[in-house]
Amino acid sequence: MDIYDKLIENPLFFKWVYHPNQEIDLWWNTYLKMNPSEADQILRFKQSFIALDFPQEKLTDIEKKELAKRIIHGIESIEAKKKRSRFLIGLARYAAIAILFFSIGGVFVYLQMGKQNNEWFAEETRIPSQLEGPVLILPEGESIALNKTESSLDYSNPENVLVNNESKLLSRNEAEKLLSNQVIIPYGNRSKITLSDSTVVWLNAGSRLIFPSKFSGKQREVLLFGEAFFDVARNEQVPFVVKTSSLEVKVLGTEFNVSAYPEDNSVQTVLKEGSVSIRRNNSGIFESDIVLKPNQMALFNKNAQNSKVYNVDASYYTIWVKGLLSFDDQDFSRIIKKIERYYNIQIRYTDPLVGLQKISGKLDLNKNLEEVFEYLAKVSSTEIRKIDNNNYEIN
């Protein structure tokens, strides 16, 4: 994980910036001594916040993270300019060839890709201002409430869509079948969607999927905001493409998981079976795709705009489809974030240090929340106290 991402996700960092005390200063001084290679970046990042002089009480946690992202962008822009000036000197000999290439075909490709991306991402704006439960939004704007925490949709017959296993007749002409539907699944809900090509998508809590009633053209494209597990129907002539706001994942037929929540600092792609290739949006012509093998994860850093590949046990990242959550030596705070999404609740810490501890185990999320909290409290040596129906506190 990038050092800036680690700082943003660490609640002790903002406490150090805005509410320093002897204990927190001692913790960070010890950390800097143990990690001297990170010291300069951490201190510069902290100083950037102090220089802006924003009063702590006027910033929410979300605003702090957004401010942090802007500071990171500024720091990386300065570094990029320094690298670019050195790089351009060596690149001069290739300038004539590059200009010729772009004058012939580059502009056309850019305009076509930009037009397509704008059409896809324009769909994101068609969201009801108030959403009380999972909903399917049809191309003409009609909304169909799915009404179940574990809902299902089946588009294998576009003329007779099954909503929660009940027939929903959608009479359309061929042009309308190619337009996009949108499924919005708020926190506390999940959905299983069968697409027109028989690909099955499990959509996790707090996620949104945009897809056509019927695929056409040279690719089968869907757009994802949030997390989903895909079991793709194989078609070697027509690749399946999952687009996110940061990258796209292309496959022929395989099983994989993509986590691309807008509020997260990274996009996570985990391959269970088959093969996938991953390309960053707006990548350069000389940038290679990342190809994953089973039990590998590509972690794309939104701030640094780069990816790293790790060997993992894919089952840990895909078992949520069965209502289970596995974790092996993971930060307690990351497990809590998943619990918040799954049950649509808010959990806060009385001591941010608690969120940094590593825990291992397996949760059955099909059990009631009290049983889940009882298990979490045991493996983390904490107490989880209910404040009201939607808010909890970890001591």
The domains located in the chain, with CATH, are 1-125 (no CATH), 133-313 (2.60.120.1440), 323-394 (3.55.50.30)
Please give the model's pTM, rounded to 2 decimal places: 0.68
- Find where tokens 């299902």 sit: 152
Report the percent of the chain where pLDDT is more than 70.
Answer: 74
Per-residue pLDDT at 67 = 60
The confidence score (pLDDT) of residue 83 equals 52
d(CA 345, CA 363): 17
**What is the C-alpha separation between 256 and 139, in angstroms, rounded?**
27
Of residues 117 and 224, which shows the higher confidence score? 224
Mean pLDDT of 300-311: 89
Query: How far does Cα 50 stand from its chain's mean position?
Result: 29
From residue 57, alpha-carbon distances to 21, 25, 223 in Å are: 17, 20, 37
| Of residues 286, 278, 305, 282, the one with CA closest to residue 110 | 282
Percent of the chain with pLDDT over 90: 26
Higher pLDDT, 360 or 107: 360
pLDDT value, residue 76: 56
Please tell me the predicted confidence (pLDDT) of residue 354: 80
How far are the Cα atoms of 117, 123, 247, 284, 305 from residue 288, in angstroms, in the given order? 20, 29, 13, 9, 14
Tens digits of per-residue pLDDT, 98-144? Answer: 333 333 333 333 333 344 444 444 444 333 445 678 989 887 778 88
CA 185 to chain centre: 14
Measure the CA–CA gap between 316 and 187, rounded to whole angstroms: 21
User: What does the pLDDT read at residue 2?
Assistant: 67
The average pLDDT across 354-374 equals: 86
The identity of residue 338, as a single letter, is K
Contact 255, 234 (CB under 8 A): no
Return the pLDDT at 74.
Answer: 57
pLDDT of residue 298: 95
For 298, half-sphere exposure in the C-beta direction (CA atoms, 13 angstrom radius) is 27
